[in-house]
Chain A
Amino acid sequence: MTRLFGLPEHVVYATAGVWALLIAATLLVLVLRWRKPGHYDELVSRTASWWWMIGAFTFAIAVSETVAIVFLAFISYLALKEYLSLIPTRRIDRGLLLFAYLAIPIQYYWAAIDWYNMFLVFVPVWLFLFFPALMAFRGETRGFLSAVGTLSWGLMLTVFCLSHMAMLLVSGEVHNPVAGGVGLLFFLVVLTQFNDVAQYTWGKLLGRHKVTPQVSPKKTWEGLVGGVLTTVALAAVIGPYLTPMDVLWSALAGLVLGVAGFLGDITISGMKRDLGVKDTGGLIPGHGGILDRVDSLTYAAPAFFHFFRYFFTP
């Protein structure tokens, strides 16, 4: 593959496409605000946050693979911290939670050195066994089960699931002659985020019938179907350009991403409902917390990774 600025040429042009879309969306939002001042403040801060997020992502993938891995690990850190700050925790586990954070550099190190088996078992096997035993050693049994359960789920979601992005970046390199590991990462992240926006937009335009009235009353069948179809269409266009998949396989990958993204979204919504909060935090103006932004990726990253690995690696 041809390289431009150290990146596969196709990724550079695709990135330029994302920026063009961002600029077009920004102009649209500015026109809306100019026509009806005060009506679109939320949309304006949302768009401003997209500039920061797309800027950070572009910077991270452009500098080097190592910077990209550190950036993805930092997202896991922010997500785990937000999660641990939201859930009820026991005072006795304070020191132990520091160990939980240590899981992040270790897990991303397995991804960085492309040690797939260790990457796969570290959180679901070793940490799954380690933390409950450590809690038992500390001797406090009151609230033991909920402490074990919440920590294990949080580590799986924010560390294990999200780290599939880093593993895709590293291990995908040799299996993608078109645009390398970074092309696959780009395909996953951009389509998942696009899918969120598409489902939201279709829902706003046509939304009538609620999918999950108890969990996320704003989600509608119209938004879900319209969003997934839009994602499938975009995936079919950019898939052959960024990945070794042809049009049909790319469309299927788009379907996997769209549905998985939706499931990740409602899963985090279920957690928020239980905790009685609207947003998981205030880190990203207009969006909420980091978990509100990466909720769909917690499902889409492992789903796409294993889809691609099963069908496209020997």
Chain B
Amino acid sequence: MSKNPLIRVMRFLFFAVVVRAVILVALGLTVRHRERLPKDGPAVLAANHNSNLDALALMSLMPLKLLPKLRPVAAVDYFFTSKARGWFVTHIIGIIPVVRGSARKGVNPLVACEEALDRGEILVLFPEGSRGDPEKLGRLKTGIGHLACARPDVPIIPVYMHGLGKALPKGSSLLVPFNCTVNVGEPLHGTGSYNAFMKAFEARITALAAEDKHPDWD
């Protein structure tokens, strides 16, 4: 992320004013178990993915003083389609870019994430990978499990969100106000095997999803 003070101020203002106005005032979040959110880094917020607003909503749950440590993890191929877009997501959103499919070429795609955790940063990560069908939980990718096992001390906080997929779903640029609920889960650690972690994580996300009754949307 940029060391340039001007860019850091722009990032702060963007999140303090624009993001909070849209997410907290225009849409509105109902947060359950807010006390389970990490007080400081390193930590990983791992949530289901329905909308481009997901990362912004998760980031607005955290106090602004932690903003410099907040880093959403996002795919290079989706966000770096133009120079301006690439600049914006790198410097203002502050993403850690991940190259999809690089594991098959023998490269660890999560090196940058592990380094960020070692610096005490807080990652915002979507284990499903892409947004998929709005308001449906897709199949989890392997990244979250590998990251958890590589850094077993780091708490992984499962989060289930509902509503943003109605407000701004994939394929639409029209924002329609809907309330969003955010259910924060108890932290998990990748201390056991990879499989055990993935099973525990999926169970916890599914349990969080079942905490509320969500209205039909089809």
Contact = CB atoms under 8 A, between A and B. Distances in A.
Nearest to B218: A91
Interface in A277-297: 277, 281-283
A90 interface: yes
A218 interface: no
B163 A277 contact: no
A233 interface: no
A78 B30 CA distance: 13
Given A282-B31, A283-B28, A283-B30, A89 B177 contact: no
A276 B213 contact: yes
B217 A81 contact: no
A91 B176 contact: no
A250 to B, nearest CB: 37
Interface residues of B, number: 21
Contacts of A89: 166, 215-217
A97 B176 contact: yes
Contacts of B216: 88-89
Contacts of B60: none
A78 B28 contact: yes
Nearest to A98: B176
B28 A94 contact: no
B178 A85 contact: yes
Contacts of A276: 213
B215 A88 contact: yes
Interface in A73-95: 77-78, 81-82, 84-91, 94-95
A275 B30 contact: no
Contacts of A88: 215-217
A101 interface: yes
Contacts of A84: 177-178
Contacts of A101: 176-177
B172 interface: yes
B90 interface: no
B176 A94 contact: yes
Contacts of A94: 166, 169, 172, 174, 176
Contacts of A95: 174, 176
A98 B215 contact: no
Could you say which interface size class chain A belongs to? Answer: 20 to 34
A91 B177 contact: no
A11 B166 CA distance: 43
B195 to A, nearest CB: 36
A89 B169 CA distance: 14
B213 A81 contact: no
B47 to A, nearest CB: 18
Interface in A231-279: 275-277
Interface string B174-218: 101111010000000000000000000000000000000101111
Count chain A CB atoms within 10 A of each CB in B27, B31, B218 and give the residue with the most: B218
A282 B184 CA distance: 15
Contacts of A277: 213
Nearest to B163: A85
Contact of A275 (B134, B169, B215, B218): B215
B51 to A, nearest CB: 12
Nearest to A99: B176
Nearest to B162: A85
A159 B209 CA distance: 31
Nearest to B30: A282
Contacts of A87: 215
A82 B218 CA distance: 19
Interface string A178-210: 000000000000000000000000000000000
A11 B216 CA distance: 46
Nearest to B177: A81
A37 B181 CA distance: 30
A166 B124 CA distance: 43
Contacts of B134: 91
Interface of B: 27-28, 30-32, 134, 163, 166, 169, 172, 174, 176-179, 181, 213, 215-218
19 contacts: A82-B28, A82-B179, A84-B177, A84-B178, A85-B166, A85-B179, A88-B217, A89-B215, A91-B218, A94-B166, A94-B172, A95-B174, A98-B174, A98-B176, A275-B213, A275-B215, A276-B213, A281-B179, A283-B30
5 nearest A-B pairs in the assembled complex, by CB-CB distance: A282-B30, A88-B216, A85-B179, A88-B215, A85-B178
